[in-house]
Structure 1
Amino acid sequence: MKLGLHVSDFTYPDGPRALADDLGRIAVAAEDVGFAKLSVMDHVWQIHQVGPAENDMLEAYTTLGYLAAKTSRIELLAWVTAAIYRAPGLLAKQVTTLDVLSGGRAWLGIGAGWNEEESLGLGLPFPGTSERFERLEEALQIFLQMCSDDESAYRGTHYTLERTLNSPQSLQRPHPPILIGGSGEKKTLRMVAQYAQACNLFGGPDVGHKLDVLRRHCADLGTDYDAIEKTVIFPIDPGLDGSNVDTVLEQLRAFGELGVQHVHGSVPNVSAITPLEIIGERIIPVAAGF
């Protein structure tokens, strides 16, 4: 099992003037201690599960470009991109640009989007649920076409692209890996089976059931279930003094027994760096055996 770091909170003690330095230190430390992936949220306001909407929030792809310059090995992605916030052609260009400038470390993490409050607040598109999923699927199709040699027009229900030219192409071929976030059994997990190299589930008691649903979709579509990386998003909290390490390992072991291969989560007090060092010394080496 591998671990990934999700940076969801940008409100640090020294404020915005020190934010670039703080974020750079976090990224370098995460890479140095052995995290496999580093992600940020694709939100423009802080989400209520983390803090007040007024708290500091950075735009995802600008931030990922900065993190690419600060690191050299760790994989980078938005966890997860709201498909409705950007035109799919532009999103494909952003992800392939990130892949080129990071030396081949970008993923496309993507979902249908859910935060109506921030969307309405900043005038971002926010159609109904059914249309959001239709747009997600078209965005996936456009991304794959733009990563191929096919420059022909794309005409979907919601998007029309007259020429899907994308130069330079990503370093990772045939395309940067795709992670689809969400656990909806009828739509999201079917899209994972059809388009993605990784799923992402919430780390609750239904993980095993959701993976069974994904397995059935793969069987129906003739795709390889074993080739899809199984990930969950779940907080990783070792405690500032390491007092919670055993609890974290117990949680990770339980996920591993279900077939989860990657646990991705926020780390409390991450700007202090010490929790990352504890994870690197006492959790990552043990989790590698799960």
Structure 2
Amino acid sequence: MGADEIHIRPRTRGCVDEEALMRIGIQIPRFTGAGGPEHIGPAFARTAREADQAGLSSLWVMDHFFQIEYVGAPEEPMLEGYSALSYAAAVTERISLGTLVTGVVYRHPGALLKTVTTLDVLSGGRAWLGIGAAWFEGEARGLGLPFPPTAERFERLEETLQIAHRMWSDDESPYEGGHYRLERPLNSPAAVSRPHPPILIGGGGEKKTLRFVAKYADACNLFAGPELAHKLDVLRGHCADEGRPYEDIEKTAIVMVDRESSVDQVVDNLGRLAELGVDHAICTGATDEEGAPAFLGRVAEQAAPIVPAGR
């Protein structure tokens, strides 16, 4: 299936067709506060349950094997993303679940799509596919994972996105790409989400990443920084080029929350992001600390009247 054969259908749940209010998510960036390894599971389960009960829209973990340098030392505890999300699915009922984001070269596309489908089935339709071109060469080299040059990683990303649409459709015909060959992309059981688990692409690359968002994805993920408005304008242009309504893309942004943040400060920041058209704020930073889900629940309550621009 070539890129020109992909037709993205309007979503019926979980993404662009929900009530047009800003959604609040939580990303858990580290697992150091619980103590030794035997305490990580109970602590993570508690955080997931509290986030669910607080009414947050989404729960995310990083898809890394080593801790990233922006957060801590590589030796810090880091859970494998999909195992962690499966565990979270079992202790929650409503919150959606995803990685922010999977490095495309870390898993074969067929196995990755089967993994996300399994999470979606077992969670009752709450999985996202968060994906990007990968960047952390150190962890790849450390564990012996493939890490080809940038151009090839983007080629593999586009093929994986094409395979995702193939496996989440009724088409089992062979896929022949430059890097991947699937003789029969069968995916049974089918995902519970309709038409499929939402696809989120992370990154702000203007020539390829945002073009892939317009062509293949349901959502983008960008940093809530000074370039956000410009990146969204670039995405708007790519949507026009692809004949895709810009409004169909869910705009998610990573929002830093530190220990000193107040509810009012975070809500004010969300209001500014909503003016740019951000639909879904994914909060990170001090979000691994005790009480963070309840704090963000208060943020979500206070931010409930905010309607993102364009909705």
TM-score if structure 1 supplies the norm length?
A: 0.96
Matches within 5 A, 1:61-100: 61-100=82-121
Which sections of structure 1, spanning at least 5 residues, go unmatched? none
Paired with 2:23 and 2:123, the residues of 1 have a C-alpha distance of: 20
Name 1:277's counterpart in structure 2.
Answer: 294
Instruction: Report if the CA contact (8 A) 2:34-2:43 is conserved.
Output: no
**Residue segments in structure 2 that go unaligned for 5+ positions in a row:** 1-21, 307-311
Name the CA distance, whole Å, in 2 between partners of 1:102 and 1:269. 23
Provide runs of 4+ in structure 1 moved above 6 Å.
none
Is this contact kept in 2: 1:22–1:271, CA < 8 A?
no
Q: Secondary structure at the match of 2:265?
A: helix
Cα gap change, 1:99 to 1:13, in 2 (>3 Å): closer
Shift of 1:8: 1.1
Q: Is this contact kept in 2: 1:237–1:248, CA < 8 A?
A: no
Distance change (3 Å), C-alpha of 1:194 and 1:137:
same
- Residue 149 of structure 1 corresponds to 170
Superposed CA offset, 1:117-153 (max 9, x none)? 0000000110011100000010011111011111111
Structure 1 counterpart of 2:125, one-letter code: G
Q: Deviations over 1:160-204 (max 9, x none)?
A: 111111110101122111000000011000000001111011110
- Tell me the TM-score normalised to structure 2 length: 0.89
The question of 1:248 aligning with 2:279 is answered: no
Structure number with the bigger relative contact order (C-alpha 8 A, sep ≥ 6) is: 2
Aligned partner of 1:257: which letter?
Answer: E
- Supply the distance in 2 between the matched residues of 1:237 and 1:46 (Cα, whole angstroms): 19
Partner of 2:4: none
Pairs within 5 Å for 1:9-24 = 9-24=30-45
Q: What amino acid is the match of 1:102? A: S
Structure 2 residue 138 is matched with structure 1 residue 117:
yes
Q: Distance between the aligned counterparts of 1:278 and 1:185, measured in 2?
A: 34
Q: Shift in Å at residue 286 of structure 1?
A: 2.0
> Hey, what's the Cα distance between the residues in 1 that align with 2:47 and 2:170?
38
Cα offsets for 1:221-244 (capped at 9, x unmatched): 0011101111111213364xxx62
Q: CA deviation at 1:13?
A: 3.8
Aligned length: 285
Q: Distance in 1 between matches of 2:177 and 2:40?
A: 41
Listed one character per residue, the Cα deviations across residues 77-107 of structure 1 (whole Å, up to 9, x for unaligned) are 0110111100000000000000000000001
Q: SS state of the match for residue 256, structure 2?
A: coil
- 1:286 correspondence with 2:302: yes
Q: Identity over aligned residues, as a percent?
A: 55
